[in-house]
Chains A and B, each alone.
Chain A
Amino acid sequence: MTLAPASGLDGEELDALRDTVRAACADAGGTAAVRRLGEGPGYDETLWHLLSREIGLGGLGLPRGDGGLAEVAVVCEELGRVLAPVPFLGSTVLAGQVLAQCGPAAEAAVAAVIAGEVYALAVADADGVWRPERLAVTAHRTPEGWVLSGASPFVVDGGAATTFVVAAVTGDGVDVFTVPATDPGVHVLATMCLDLGRPQAMVRFTGAVGSPLTADGAGVAAVTAGLDRALVALSAEQLGGAQACLDMTVVYAAQRTQFGRAIGSFQAVKHRCADMLLRVETARSAVLRAVAAEDDPTALAEAAAVAQIWCGEAFTWIAEETVQLHGGTGFTWEHDAHLYFRRAVADAALFGGASHHRERLAQLLGW
């Protein structure tokens, strides 16, 4: 059962976009695409080709690409609904949005992302958080150009990337560089990941040559602004996943019979489903509110933090309850519940987790 997202992200064009992405994901087999991944590049190349190049979503929300944050949110919500294993979040959103903040120097890189090439963002510290003062990658100017050294963990879609968008400490602060994955000084280690549909990598730079996109420490503002937009997209993905969990749980609770009645008729189960809906609809409000703040960076930073705090915790709780309300079936490998559970826990940990965002919110609000 699917509830119409009344007063959600709708309107004729957004509805058409939603339908297109939903149909493409359904044709790819829905969550079966995650289970098919196996050894390959860590994403569904056919689906990504279709989405990024044929449908043209590779540059969604980027300068000279189409659409804004509303379109990005709709796509993330739909991809999140089926855990579609494509580098939309890693490349178009994370790398793309940071590149978009880097001005003219990043034009070629943005064009490549728009064309569907996979870029990956490497800006996390050892705890997976964007804290420029704790970055472990440094960049030095040499006669050959800028040379980067150090480790960058938790790089989303790093294994598939042709190019890394890297934040590195220079003498002037933190700046953003692009580094091709083929540089002999780049070492990519695909890591074991909780989320089976979204790989991460540990990337080590040993004298890799980078092209600077910002100068004089302007990288901090660029990454922060890009990540704020990416947090909204991540929240939309969590909303989609949470809605999918609620939908499958309601269907199951209405049809599974124990003690001679559908388990959904028991208040202990029904009330849990009601609480799931409350969290899903609140998540939708959070995403809508953040999308509406798109053109005001100060309001967007606050709304992105609010959305990520709510959506991260809501999706995690809903995924836990989805396993629980499916009983033993929900604990099997064959059932999809654990795929969502894995995604929920991993998503909530991207870029700091709720306690990090709460503290950031407190600072943004001047407490």
Chain B
Amino acid sequence: MTELDQWRARVREWLSATLPPKAADDAGDPDDLAVFHNLSVAAERALLARARAYQRAKFDAGYQALTLAREHGGRGLPAAYAMVLAQEEARFAVPPSTELISVTVGLVGSAVSVFGTPPQRERFARAFLRTDLLACQLFSEPGAGSDLAALRARAVRDGADWVVSGQKVWTSGARFADYGMLLARTDPSVVKQAGITAFLVPMDADGLTVRPIRQMSGGASFNEVFLTDVRVPDALRLGEPGQGWEIANATLAFERTASGAGKRRKGGSVQDVIALARRLGRAGDPLVRQRLADLYVRATLHASTVERVANATAAGRRPGPAASITKLMAAQTLTLTGQVAAEVLGARIAADTGEPGTFAWTQHVLGAPGYRIAGGTDEIQRNIIGERVLGLPGEPRVDKVPFSDLPRT
């Protein structure tokens, strides 16, 4: 038995003792087709409570932060161990996770573990990795979306504190978070990437307000966060002044390598569309069959590309160019799924006949455009592929000057 096999056996034993096995007919709710979920505050809290209980159990049993280096408080295990854990988790009824949980554990928890001072690690690393405290991400701004480094939230040193003012946007879970990992401009006299500093901001600080954003699909999965002269002690500065851009990039990389277990399903699947076509008697239509096959091919090859990347990573190899295309593929598959479902539904996508599992597809169709934007737009993904993978030259840049010299929009 290899060490990895022993690990698998141990993980499975622990999971059996912790969680019920996944039900065989785990097809889910036919009306749960939203890409961005819209839950009441009470329902969101209940969901968080279940997810947190599992994260705590996982932490206490030593299954959290597996790939994080030992000197940073992780287990320092190869990626293969995390993959085995994810594979085994897939066999059990893992409580659905939320964006806030994965940001807390995968992004902020890892960032504090790697970049925090000893007192910060003492106070926060365990609390975030165990989800005793929840942390959201205060990165994007109305004027800094794809061009995140152009952010304008200001932090000015005042004695032992920093005074922060600005507006953040697209923050998942801000209403439930205890802390926010904030990127703010501390030095406008240098190029934009160099003048950014990271902080941990208590979400209940004076001068900080949260306002939900209602998205086009109708729900409010994200928030705006307004900061007006919020005083943040220097002890909550993460990393050195000016290190914020490096920390943001490193932590976004942690997030990308975090395990995918317990993810909530995003929208309907190809199997849902096939079942829909059958139910509505459309599966015999030659043109519908062509569309279904097209969707099946795309979804299948997306899944096998994701698996290919995971296997390469687990084997300690560089995943290669395939890794950079999976976000774009995911967005395209999600979009096509909605398009084919709408075609199969015909008039039923436009008006609710009351038949279950039909008009609910509007939640998928209305959510898919958001997935093409969130976490790096399709266009930014193509820039990354073109420049970092294919090695094509960048656009001529006009923003390599001190931030304060950039034109304001």
Contact = CB atoms under 8 A, between A and B. Distances in A.
Interface in B377-394: 379, 381-383, 385-387, 389-394
Contacts of A357: 293
Given A6-B320, A275-B382, A367 B292 contact: yes
B309 interface: yes
Contact of A288 (B304, B379, B394): B304
B293 A274 contact: no
Contact of A274 (B311, B315, B390): B390
Nearest to A281: B322
Contacts of B120: none
Contacts of A261: 393, 396
A289 interface: yes
Interface stretch (B12-20, B74-82, B161-169, B283-291): B283-291
A262, A277, A289: which has the most chain B beta carbons within 10 Å? A277
Contacts of B308: 7, 285, 288
A355 interface: yes
Main secondary structure of the interface of A (DSSP, over half): helix
A358 interface: yes
A4 B389 CA distance: 11
A362 B392 contact: no
B300 interface: yes
Interface in B158-187: none
Contacts of A7: 308-309, 311-312, 315, 317, 319-320, 322
A277 B385 CA distance: 8
B300 A306 contact: yes
A1 B226 CA distance: 48
Interface string B319-348: 111100100110000000000000000000
Contact of B318 (A6, A277, A285, A359): A6
Interface stretch (A47-55, A104-112, A189-197, A265-273): A265-273
A359 B302 CA distance: 21
Contacts of A274: 328, 381-383, 385-386, 389-390
Nearest to B384: A274
A269 B382 CA distance: 10
A254 B382 CA distance: 16
Interface string B124-146: 00000000000000000000000
B392 A273 contact: yes
A140 B315 CA distance: 57
B301 interface: yes
B391 A282 contact: no
A8 B308 CA distance: 8
A367 B386 CA distance: 39
B309, B318, B322: which has the most chain A beta carbons within 10 Å? B322
Contacts of A277: 321, 325, 385, 389-390
Contacts of B206: none
A265 B393 contact: yes
B383 to A, nearest CB: 7
Contact of A265 (B301, B302, B394): B394
B8 to A, nearest CB: 21
Given A264-B392, A265-B395, A310 B386 contact: no
Contacts of B296: 306, 361, 365
A69 interface: no
B98 interface: no
Given A274-B385, A277-B385, A367-B283, A5 B297 contact: no
A253 interface: yes
A309 B297 contact: yes
B309 to A, nearest CB: 7
B317 A250 contact: no
A278 B330 CA distance: 11
B305 A359 contact: no
Contacts of B289: 358-359, 362, 367
B294 A358 contact: yes
B199 to A, nearest CB: 34
Contact of A6 (B297, B304, B319): B319
Nearest to B320: A6
B297 A361 contact: yes
Contacts of A284: 322
Contacts of B391: 1, 250, 254
A286 interface: yes
B83 interface: no
A285 B289 CA distance: 23
A154 B390 CA distance: 38
Given A7-B317, A270-B392, A309-B297, 7 more contacts: A7-B311, A261-B393, A265-B395, A278-B325, A281-B322, A306-B300, A367-B283
Nearest 8 pairs of A and B residues by beta carbon = A6-B320, A270-B386, A358-B293, A7-B312, A264-B392, A274-B385, A274-B382, A271-B382
Interface of B: 274, 277-278, 283, 286, 289-290, 292-294, 296-297, 300-302, 304-305, 308-309, 311-312, 315, 317-322, 325, 328-329, 379, 381-383, 385-387, 389-396
29 contacts: A5-B320, A6-B318, A6-B319, A6-B322, A7-B322, A250-B392, A253-B392, A254-B393, A265-B393, A267-B395, A270-B387, A270-B392, A271-B382, A273-B392, A274-B390, A277-B385, A278-B328, A278-B329, A282-B301, A282-B325, A284-B322, A285-B308, A306-B301, A309-B294, A358-B294, A358-B297, A361-B296, A367-B277, A367-B289
